[in-house]
Structure formats: C-alpha cells, structure tokens
Chains A and B, each alone.
Chain A
C-alpha cells in the first residue's frame, strides 16, 4: 500500500497525514519527488517530439538502433545527441566529436554551480545521480522551488523527481523514434512548449531591475551570437547575463 500511496501522491499531489515519524519522512520524500515530477510534466509536450525526431535522425545517420537508444541514457543530452548523430553521419573525427559535445553542454556547468550549494551536504551517490540527471529542463522546472527553500532537507528529492521524469520521457520518446524509423512525425509545433515553459519559469523571477537587465542582456547576446557553432552563443549569452547581474548588483546593492 505504501507503493500505491507513493504513486497516488505523484500523480494527484495529495499526501495524507500520517502519525508516525517514519511515515512522515517517507511521505515528505514522496511529496517532494512528486513536486519535481509535476513541475516537469508540461515539458514533455515539447521534449517528446524532440526525442522522436532524435531517434529518426540517429538511424538516418547510420547509427544502429540499439546504439541510438542507448545513447539516450549514456549521453542523455538532447541537443548534444542531435549533434553527435550528425557528426557520426558525416564521419567526423573522434576528438572533434567529443570536443563539440563538450562545448554544446558547457552551460550545464552553470546549472551545476547553481545547485551545488543546495546539494552540498548530500552523500556522493546522490551527487553522482543528480549530476547525471542535470538537464536544461530538469533544472529549469524545479529551480524556483529550490531557490525558495535552499535549506530544505528534501530539495534533492524535488530535483530527483524532475530529473527522473525527464529521463523516463526522453527514453520512451527515443524508442518511439527508433521504432518509427524513417518516418518523421508531422510538425505540430509542440516543441513550442519548451520556450513557453521556460517563460513561465523565468518571468516570475524578474522581480527587480537588475534581474530584468540580466534577462535582456542574455536575450540580446543569445540572438546576436546565434550563428556561433555548438551553441557557444548560448553559453556566451548566459555568461553575459550573469556578468550584468553581478556588476549591477555590486553597483547598487
């Protein structure tokens, strides 16, 4: 029954009040995990078609079906997997492909820095697990919650919930894409769910002028440098936004 209650709380968010301390901690974890899962759910609208297309593109690049599916858990990074599939198809050298994947994923170091103080007290196995699951989507979905209560002893369960939810959805979408084979799904514009969700997350964070300036500079640089390869424009934009926030906050504390 504990298992059932756990899943019930994941999907419906209602957690009953229990008498014993042990049960309280368990339901607290379940509720935190469920919070993470629910925060991520809308992103599946955008991630699912992306994963299906990845599966199709990987096969077209000549990657064997099993390897295409395995890549989604071994690399587990959407845009890097697309790039890797293309590079394999083009016969790019090993070091170039590895370097390109590293550059495209550089922005994840920023997420790592952002959550590091929150996860500081956790045992190594948790740090390894949550690092593996640290993606744009999983981070974005729960960072408002994590920043609100950074000292929460259950913060890692929230991040685990969103990370796991994205991971599971990504694996299923990849398998669907590989099974579909050569057939690309019709573009319904569902990928628009991702920018919309990011908007829903970022806009409420813009509570003062310094934060608005941070966002404006990041947007401007991202657009100006969008022509750079390997998403380096994104990384430069994020750093420019950070520098803006930092300098303005120092100037006017």
Chain B
C-alpha cells in the first residue's frame, strides 16, 4: 500500500467533510429547523469532546477522588461560570490539576 496515495485520499475525504456545508451554502436552502439547531453546535460538540476527558480514566468511568482531571475540570467549570475568563479558567484548572497530581 502506497502511504502517499492513502494520505492524499484521506486528505481529500477530510477536506470534503469540512467543506460540505460551507460549499453548499447558497446552493441549497438550509431547512429552518436545521438552521435553528446551529447555535447548539459548539455547546454539543465541544462538551462531547470534554466529558470523556474528565470522566473516563483508561476508558472506564472514574468518579473517584484519585481522578485529578475530573476535580480540576469541575473547578475550572466553576471558575468559567463565575468569571467567564479563558486564561483564568485554564490557569485555575492547571493549578488544581498540578496540586491534585502532587497530592495523589
């Protein structure tokens, strides 16, 4: 199997997925229900990325004291909710993560 051909094909597939709706815009009428779902895309997609990172350890649910990512993440969620500041949220999350990793 030629690695280069595989890469180029996968690159085209990836690009076409990303271009799909951007390219189709104006050529088809996006249904109104579809359009009204779009504001939820960042919330749904990004939460789906984050949740397993916090809740799973080695692929298993880990609601335990030793899961430092979970508790640092919970703290970060609180900080983000109160101060709505990106850098502060990251700093607080990392600080909590470092402290918890050192303790545990």
Contact = CB atoms under 8 A, between A and B. Distances in A.
Nearest to B80: A203
Given A42-B90, A223-B61, A242-B37, A196 B42 contact: no
Contacts of B51: 218-220, 222-223, 237
Given A112-B18, A119-B22, A218-B47, A102 B13 contact: yes
A67 B4 CA distance: 7
A88 B3 contact: yes
B89 to A, nearest CB: 4
Contact of B22 (A131, A217, A218): A131
Interface in A178-222: 189, 192-206, 211, 214-215, 217-222
Interface string B67-79: 0010011001100
A239 B34 CA distance: 12
Given A120-B26, A242-B40, A245-B37, A199 B50 contact: yes
A111 interface: yes
Contact of B14 (A75, A88, A147): A75
Interface core residue of B3, B20, B77 (most chain A CB under 10 Å): B3
Interface range on chain A: under 10, 10 to 19, 20 to 34, or 35 or more? 35 or more
Contacts of B23: 127, 131
A238 B10 CA distance: 23
B48 A234 contact: yes
- Secondary structure of the B contact surface, majority rule: helix
B25 A119 contact: yes
A197 B46 CA distance: 10
B30 interface: yes
B1 interface: yes
B41 A242 contact: yes
B54 A214 contact: no
A246 interface: yes
Given A42-B86, A131-B18, A74 B41 contact: no
A37 interface: no
A223 B40 CA distance: 19
A94 B3 CA distance: 9
A200 B41 contact: no
Given A127-B23, A211-B40, A242-B37, A196 B89 contact: yes
A139 B43 CA distance: 12
A206 B13 contact: no
A249 B71 CA distance: 31
Given A97-B6, A211-B43, A234 B21 contact: no
Contact of A241 (B13, B22, B48, B61): B48
A45 B69 CA distance: 16
B70 to A, nearest CB: 11
B97 A116 contact: no
B26 A136 contact: no
Given A196-B72, A218-B45, A238-B44, 4 more contacts: A112-B22, A195-B73, A196-B76, A219-B50
